[in-house]
A and B are shown apart, each in its own frame.
Chain A
Amino acid sequence: MTTLFINILAFGTLLSSIFSITSKNPVISVIFLISTFVQAALYLIFIGINFVGISYIVIYVGAIAVLFLFVIMMINIKLTDILETGNQYTKNLPLAIAIGSLFIFIIFTIVPFNFNNVPALSVLLDKITYFNSILSNSNIVSINLINSIVNNYFLSSISDVIITEFQQIEVLGHGLYTYGAVLLITLSVILLLAMFATIIISRNNKNIKT
């Protein structure tokens, strides 16, 4: 049940991200963007990564997307300009397909394709291996062995989830404040620099004259 729900969420994420690119009206595309973020956050929470999911909602939906929406409503773009640029998406389509397929090819030649990630496929595969073991009826080729070969079980992160499921945020905070304290300091310096940089770039120079 949850796997089905997760699949629906993943599909919805993809669909709404496509809509957010292709929709003509910028406001609607931002709303689709928000729905993409919400669905991705739900997906992350359902597969057990609580903290990242929650921070998705807080940061992207709460701050960035609403800021986008606000800015787009403020600047009030004419729709005709956007409609003209909308035709140019299909012009670059062959290039995008070529680059994307090349990337996928390279990734999948080095990274083995892993059926464990796609529940619908893995169920089918389990059935096949099950029938296989019944037919061959041998103890050596057990389901587990085939599963471990096909599904790459040694890479699965079940133990990870079980350990950190309950107190993920707690564990994160603990690690961040003891082991990675210097990382926290570095991050704070980066944020300080970001704040400083935005101030000096956007500052009005006429005020300094006095």
Chain B
Amino acid sequence: MIFISILTLIVAKALPSINSNLSSVYFTRISAIVFIYAGVLSFNTLYIQSIGSGIGIYSGLFQVTVISQFIEVFLLVIGSLILIAWPLRSSLNYISLSKDENLAPSGSVELSYSTDFSLIVLFSTLGSCLLVSTSDLVSMYLSIELQSFGLYVLATLYRNSESSTRAGLKYFLLGGLSSCLILLGAGLIYAYTGLTNFESIYSLISVSEVNNIIQGASLGAVLIIIGFLFKIAAAPLHNWSPDVYDETPTIVTIWLTIMPKISILILLLELHTQIGVIGPLNSITINLSSIQENSIYLLKNLLLISSLLSLIIGTVVGLAQTRIKRLLAYSTISHIGFILLALAINTEQSIDSLLFYIIQYSITNLDVFLIIIALSYIINNSYLNEDNDSIKDIRYISELKGKFFLAPLLSLSLSICLFSMAGIPPLIGFFSKQFVLYSAIGSGYYFMSIICIIVSVISASYYLKIIKVLHTEVEEDTKLLQARTRENLSVIRSYKLTENKYTLLSNFHSFLISTLTLSILFFIFKPSLILNSTQLLSLSLFNF
């Protein structure tokens, strides 16, 4: 199946990377095509009639359901989009333009990074594809290790910069800690029930009345869920994420913020709905044990508490940030809060809104980061002059000042994305927040929904702050800037004679940004495309 096709392609790609005859540009392109092809394959499996409530493959260690296949397709498409957007020509030539002799090899380093990047991304995506459809404790642990190990390497990939190495080490240590927690939880579950398969654990929980076993298993489940919350940076365990996101290069940050979260959230969804579905069935039966009720509410309360904390922390702390990627990391935390709220409610409607939220959030986030990369190229190209060897990414919000006049379309689309994240009505972000709130109110979580509304209003202020910075003109510096650009132009002209002409952005990059922005903008005209599919998925989870 799909895994095998990815595997063989990895091997096939690993071989030419040794002799390195191929240009590295092809590597990202090939792996993007691999992603699309694998996505098509797994999309094909959606048409298999017997898929119903899921097929166990590989002797029941993995379970293919409609949801897992759909999310896999989504993951692969997003992955291919990120890979295609890999900066190629512009950054290379810009680096080779710089005057320093020492920096001349860094252009070729960039080239080699891109091949490594695409290979590691393949590994990590294989892990997350496995993780989505896992149905066994052992395979869960192995696939999460595969996924997160790829991510640790990805974070340390740019080892020329000190900050990225630091971020990678931090990510590695804390991710290792959370893996230990997951492993401890899995070990406890195995020690008490003697089972590793999810299905049999669910059935054991739903049937047995022995307090001991259920208590131990619930302890294990709590530990596992805490470990996963650590990995997706939900609130009480969020401290690593702003540092790591800030210090890694932007192209890696895209990957870190989007891909692992989708797969882990889907796994949490599977776990939580299965245990949660069993809960009400038990309450109907006469001899219900109070401890078992406790364990179910324990998980739900855990998710609710963490969602509450991450909503509050993500917005309130985010207000004080000056670095743009830290700010986006905090906004990620508050969005995770929304997603966890939808997860904790666990009705058909909330699962629907959860899936929709995940999809819209990853699209919007991808778009924001792509635009930031594009803007950073433009800024770098306009200040080609002095200390450009170290500045590659945009770090501070103030760097965005007045960029509307430099790149009007890009900054317009950035502001559209930020409006959508803040939840301004005609955009896609509004609908997802509305669905989550609607389902929360529908099942009686009034306090949480009030908190959500307040928090989203607060968070709108810092998105608006970015937009305001983006669109106000720099008043004192304009003359200086003009002078500098004139100077730059002459410099560029002199360079153009020797070097080949560099492009600001690759065509595909700008095309991608425009497509994503338009899909965010025009979602209201054809909402049925995403909404119907998510609704079908949530119904399939509950009714099969």
Is A200 engaged at the interface, CB distance under 8 Å to the other chain? yes
Number of A-B contacts (CB under 8 A): 75
> Could you say which residues of chain B place their CB within 8 Å of the CB of A196?
14, 119-120, 123
- Can you list 23 A-B contacts (CB < 8 A)? A110-B215, A155-B192, A155-B212, A178-B59, A180-B138, A182-B139, A183-B61, A185-B7, A186-B146, A189-B126, A193-B123, A193-B146, A196-B14, A196-B120, A196-B123, A197-B153, A200-B116, A200-B157, A201-B156, A201-B157, A201-B159, A205-B105, A208-B112
A193 CB contact (under 8 Å) in B112, B130, B149, B160: B149
Is A141 engaged at the interface, CB distance under 8 Å to the other chain? no
Contact B108 A208 (CB under 8 A): yes
> Could you say which residues of chain A place their CB within 8 Å of the CB of B105?
205-206, 208-209
8 A Cβ contacts from B203-217 to A = 212, 215-216
Chain A positions 181 through 210: 1 when the CB is less than 8 Å from some CB of chain B, otherwise 0: 111011101101110110011000110110
Contact B143 A186 (CB under 8 A): yes
> Could you say which residues of chain A place their CB within 8 Å of the CB of B153?
193, 197, 200-201
- Expressed in whole angstroms, the minimum distance between the Cβ of B108 and any Cβ of chain A is 6
A187 CA / B141 CA spacing, docked (Å): 11
> Could you say which residues of chain B place their CB within 8 Å of the CB of A111?
215-216, 219
Is B348 engaged at the interface, CB distance under 8 Å to the other chain? no
- Going nearest first, the 7 A-B pairs with the smallest beta carbon separation are A182-B58, A197-B153, A209-B105, A186-B142, A193-B123, A200-B116, A110-B219
Known contacts: A110-B216, A180-B138. The answer to whether A189 contacts B7 by CB under 8 A is: yes
- Expressed in whole angstroms, the minimum distance between the Cβ of A121 and any Cβ of chain B is 20
- Expressed in whole angstroms, the minimum distance between the Cβ of A182 and any Cβ of chain B is 4
- Expressed in whole angstroms, the minimum distance between the Cβ of B321 and any Cβ of chain A is 30
For A, the interface residue count at a CB cutoff of 8 angstroms equals 27
Contact B142 A209 (CB under 8 A): no
Contact B58 A190 (CB under 8 A): no
A180 CA / B141 CA spacing, docked (Å): 14
> Could you say which residues of chain A place their CB within 8 Å of the CB of B157?
200-201
Known contacts: A193-B120, A209-B108. The answer to whether A183 contacts B139 by CB under 8 A is: yes
A189 CA / B11 CA spacing, docked (Å): 10
Is B145 engaged at the interface, CB distance under 8 Å to the other chain? yes
8 A Cβ contacts from B139-172 to A = 139, 142-143, 145-146, 149-150, 153, 156-157, 159-160
> Could you say which residues of chain B place their CB within 8 Å of the CB of A110?
215-216, 219
B138 CB contact (under 8 Å) in A183, A185, A201: A183
> Could you say which residues of chain B place their CB within 8 Å of the CB of A208?
105, 108-109, 112
> Could you say which residues of chain B place their CB within 8 Å of the CB of A112?
212
Is B338 engaged at the interface, CB distance under 8 Å to the other chain? no
- Expressed in whole angstroms, the minimum distance between the Cβ of B63 and any Cβ of chain A is 12
Chain A residue nearest in CB terms to B59: A179
Known contacts: A179-B59, A182-B62, A196-B119. The answer to whether A190 contacts B216 by CB under 8 A is: no
Chain B positions 182 through 222: 1 when the CB is less than 8 Å from some CB of chain A, otherwise 0: 00000000001000000000000000000010011001000
Indicate the member of A182, A208, A209 with the most B CB atoms within 10 Å: A182
> Could you say which residues of chain B place their CB within 8 Å of the CB of A187?
142
> Could you say which residues of chain B place their CB within 8 Å of the CB of A192?
123
Contact B150 A180 (CB under 8 A): no
A179 CA / B153 CA spacing, docked (Å): 31
A201 CA / B160 CA spacing, docked (Å): 10
- Expressed in whole angstroms, the minimum distance between the Cβ of A158 and any Cβ of chain B is 14
Contact B109 A190 (CB under 8 A): no
A172 CA / B1 CA spacing, docked (Å): 27
> Could you say which residues of chain A place their CB within 8 Å of the CB of B58?
181-182
- Expressed in whole angstroms, the minimum distance between the Cβ of B146 and any Cβ of chain A is 5
